Amino acid sequence: MNNKQPVKVFHYLLHPYNTSLVTCCDAEGNPNIITIAWLIPVSVNPPLVGMSIGPTRFSYGLIRETGEFVINVAPYEIGSQVLFCGRRSGRDVDKFAETGLTQQEAQSVRPPIIEECVAHLECRVVQDIEAGDHHLVVGEVLAAYANRGILEENGLYRLKQVQPLFHVGRNYFTSTRSEYEKLSL
């Protein structure tokens, strides 16, 4: 154990995380965007995803108000807009106007999808669990779709067509730069 060192920010040991832009809206339909990296699938049947979000965040209040959100999977090339949406509050700024990101109507929920993103999961909140200084918001996936041509037949990303954005920590991001390597026993 002498070759181990203590760490101060434990969750960075679990990074990088696929980073998404989550859209939500208020009861009148006014949209907002929040950058979220702490996303996980929690069930296949029914299709459920979990999102960790601080309860003081403006978007958390909107999601509680309407019970809906969209996970928009961000490609590496819009990293600067993703960073902006993670560092500014929708209380103070219209993130769509400031970033130039394009809203499109979702299929089954009120919050919009983001055209520049490569995949979208439209969700309805089914559970909200207080977990320390964050909440685990569990959403049922009502619709899931991706840009044509970016997925292999097995559902994996074609990495020559799209490079997903991964958050390493703080303002640092990375992406995949090569094809998959299938490991075997």
pLDDT of residue 129: 98
Domain presence at residue 1: no
DSSP state at residue 12:
G
181: in domain: no
Q: What is the pLDDT of residues 72-107, one digit of tens each?
A: 999 999 999 999 999 999 999 999 999 999 999 999
Which positions ≥6 away from 17 have C-beta within 8 Å?
A: 37, 38, 39, 166, 167
Instruction: Indicate whether 182 belongs to any domain.
Output: no
- pLDDT for the residue 125: 99
Q: Is residue 7 part of a domain?
A: no
Structural domain boundaries enclosing 91: 13-175
User: Is residue 55 within 8 Å of residue 135, measured between CB atoms?
Assistant: yes
Residue 147 lies in a domain: yes
* pLDDT reported for residue 11: 87
Residue 53 lies in a domain: yes
Q: What CATH number is given to the structural domain containing 117? A: 2.30.110.10
**Is-contact 56 6, C-beta < 8 A?**
no
Is the CA virtual torsion 143, 144, 148, 153 positive or negative?
negative
Number of domains in the chain: 1
**Which structure tokens are listed for 52?**
């960790």
CA of 111: how far to CAs of 2, 13, 68, 183, in Å?
51, 32, 7, 39
Confidence of residue 2 (pLDDT cuts 50, 70, 90): confident
Residues 94-147 pLDDT 10s: 999 999 999 999 999 999 999 999 999 999 999 999 999 999 999 999 999 999
Domain assignment present for 184: no
Q: Is residue 145 part of a domain?
A: yes
Which pLDDT tens digit goes with each residue over 26-67? 999 999 999 999 999 999 999 999 999 999 999 999 999 999
